[in-house]
Amino acid sequence: MGTEGLLPEVERGAVRRITVIGEDVLHRSLRPATDAEFGTPELDQLIDDMFATNHVAHGAGLAANQVDVDLRLFVWDMEDDWGVRHTGHVLNPVLDEEPVATRRLVDEMEGCLSVPGPYKPVPRADHAVVRGQDKDGNAIVVEGHGYFARCLQHETDHLHGRLYVDRLTRRDRRDALREMAELRDGVLARRAKTAEALGK
């Protein structure tokens, strides 16, 4: 695999270990970024590392607690249902409440890099708006439809200590964890191979 078409963040970033369901940092609300953290080399490096980690894991998005960092931050790099690529990051995101009268829920398959392997149908709104800050502290608004909206909701959940399996029935959650036990080693091996091919 060459480096053509890679985001600069991916090229600069180092690959970090992805936390797995059961680890404490995945199951609690994360702390907000403070003014002192915006615009720092440390934050820049974390974001680059998260893009690199997301890339080698073939993810759509990645939250900070998935690389064992207690910070309200997530990144995304994905194509939506219409083939449009979306990339970016947001700190301290707040998801707009969609009015019940106009909200449209869609049941589609969802997975998670911290639950390696299984996919299960999860109902999500087909439109989402997230308001937060960029790495320099500037206010930003991110709007998504379809799969991108699902990604924004999934990653915002992470920052509140919630995984997609927490939205499943008890039976589906049990099935997902059983499938993860069977598939996990293969998934992790593929990630390692991709990282090696990139020299990371």
Residue 87: what are its φ and ψ, rounded to 5°? -135, 145
Q: Which residues are catalytic?
A: 155
Residue where the block lists tokens 């959650």: 173
- What residue type is 34 in one-letter code? T
What does the angle CA 90 – CA 118 – CA 120 come to, to the nearest 5 degrees?
Answer: 80
Strands 105-112 and 61-63, sheet pairing? unpaired
Q: Determine the Cα–Cα distance for residues 40 and 165; give it in Å rounded to an integer.
A: 34
Q: Are 52 and 200 in contact (CB under 8 A)?
A: yes
> How many angstroms separate the CA atoms of 192 and 57, rounded?
8
Q: Which amino acid is at 74?
A: F
The C-alpha atoms of residue 21 and residue 90 are separated, in whole angstroms, by 23
Element (H, E) at 50: helix 41-56
DSSP of 66-94, one letter per residue? GGT--SSEEEEEEE-TTS-EEEEEEEEEE
CB atoms within 10 A of CB 10: 23
